[in-house]
Amino acid sequence: MEPGSMENLSIVYRSRDFLVVNKHWDVRIDSKTWRETLTLQKQLRHRFPELADPDTYYGFRFCHQLDFSTSGALCVALNKAAAGSAYKCFKERQVTKAYLALVRGHVQESRMTISYAIGRNNTEGRAHTMCIEGTHGCENPKPSLTELVVLEHGLYAGDPVSKVLLQPLTGRTHQLRVHCSALGHPIVGDLTYGQASGREDQPFRMMLHAFYLRIPTQAECVEARTPDPFLPTLDACWSPHTLVQPLDQLVQVLQAAPDPEPTEGGPRPCSPSMSLPGPGRPPPPPAKPPETEAQRASCLQWLSEWTLEPDN
């Protein structure tokens, strides 16, 4: 697959208030350093100079984040009111997200809920990584839930791998990467929480892709599906041999699921309307307490970020 460039920005949804882009792998969303030659921010300014807002720090209001090495659906708000409405949906856990990934090994259970609590790793040399509760140096672990459905089994460069659909029901840093690694099935190409097999060249990218996104704002439902990048026609190293679950069926489930109603503290992360079908799901945790003053201040800081003046 060709690397990202200033010209190859893909738009999968557009309205008066929002864009959803299909972010390229190994492209940062934004950067304050002059050394960063290509960012999504620069791609947007190049493609839509008329939409850039001089009152914002980066010119565009990114409603959420994707890791540098993760590709796929990323929502951009085109005005402050739209940014606020999208943020409200994220805060109240009304957003539906699903990712595709290639993971090491053949995952035996066709469906599972991963529930390892995730905290920050305070081990020397691992300051910017996360870890699961009970491991050395794991600081302040928080409950985390991911739904996993196996789509295909096959080989990547001769090594056994599984293609999976991942639905995060919480939003911890590096959640999908940490959860897959904790299962013993790290994401192919993730050199932070996994490693190369030794029998292949380092994969050209981390095999994690934001495939589906739905943000049900009051004014409109932002819904976008991106193309599947993990196909043998696009990557000759990937050779599927066993179909476990058709992807199109799961997309229909995601699209048909009703959006959770906002409640005090947000809906419970295991609400059936938010997750893929599957047996053996653990009971949901209790609802969050009402928002504190500190949390409210954090929300206001997030919204005010879009009015910061650029650096001189």
Residues designated catalytic: 67
- Residue 223 CB burial class (10 angstroms; 0-12, 13-18, ≥19): middle
Look at residues 61, 14, 25 and name the one whose alpha carbon lies nearest to residue 223: 14
Strands 159-168 and 146-156, sheet pairing: antiparallel
Kindly report the three-state secondary structure assignment for every residue of the chain: CCCCCCCCCEEEEECCCEEEEEECCCCECCCCCCCCCCEHHHHHHHHCHHHCCCCCCCCCEECCCCCCCCEEEEEEECCHHHHHHHHHHHHCCCCEEEEEEEEECCCCCCEEEECCCEEEECCCCCCCCEEECCCCCEEEEECCCEEEEEEEEEEECCEEEEEEEEEECCCCCCHHHHHHHHCCCCECCCCCCCCCCCCCCCCCCCCEEEEEEEEECCCCEEEEECCCCCCCCCCCCEEEEEECCCHHHHHHHHHHCCCCCCCCCCCCCCCHHHCCCCCCCCCCCCCCCCCCHHHHHHHHHHHHHHHCCCCC
- Tokens coding 200: 């292949």
Dihedral sign, Cα of residue 24, residue 212, residue 115, residue 187: negative
